[in-house]
Amino acid sequence: MKQALLVFLGGGLGSVLRYVISKPLNILLHNFFLGTFLVNIFGCLLIGVILGLSSRNNLLSINSTLFLATGFCGGFTTFSAFAFEKHSLLKNSELFHFSVYTIASIVVGVLAVALGLWLSKLGE
């Protein structure tokens, strides 16, 4: 029960922070959801660092990892919003923006996870 509560609290904090960051940034560029993109990339970097630290000599406890990776990062990153925004671009026949947004989010997200894992190993 304690672990479920940690995930719940982390998810709530992540969701609120996502809203605070995404809302103002999503209106800056036409047909590119900058806030969602940046939140997803930072979330990928963050989960890479968290899981890297967690697996490295148990620097983070299981409870800390659940709170931060599963809870906070799960609430902070926005795959459902990402999918909806891509649908909106397709619905409006914005194929170029759909393609750029989708490819950039996936490629940069995977690279951010790799960078986060690499950063977590610094100082070994």
Binding site listing for Na(+): 74, 77
Q: Are 121 and 49 in contact (CB under 8 A)?
A: no
Structure tokens, 40:
């997803």
Write phi, then psi, for 107 (nearest 5 degrees).
-65, -50
Alpha helices in the chain (DSSP H): 2-25, 34-55, 62-65, 74-76, 79-91, 95-120
Structure tokens, 70:
């599963």
Known binding site: residues? 74, 77
